[in-house]
Amino acid sequence: MPTTEVTEKEEKQLLAILKKYNKKLNLLAVLPAADIEDWLQENASVKQKPTTIYPIEYNKAAIVIKNEGILRKNEPITPSGYDLGTVVNW
């Protein structure tokens, strides 16, 4: 059975991605497919190519990372007026 937990190794990989693309990414969120199954059915195109989505449901994320590091579940995310996200199914 797949887990929705992010391992320490995966956290390091995600931090490396955010660092590599820091001029293009503000936040990096991982949403477990099992938690957004209905949304994935309604937005099947995300399985073929990256899709721009608004608003992003950060509350369903297993992990959210910003330049300063990992945001824990109790840390609020304040969306900007242009809180647009690109979703990639992986």
Q: Of the candidates 31, 37, 7, which has an alpha carbon nearest to the alpha carbon of residue 85?
A: 31
pLDDT in tens, the chain (90 residues): 455 677 888 888 888 888 888 778 778 888 777 778 888 888 888 878 877 777 777 777 888 888 777 887 667 776 665 566 666 655
29-38, pLDDT tens digit by residue? 887 777 788 8
Give the residue extent of every domain in the chain: 8-87
Does pTM surpass 0.75? Answer: no
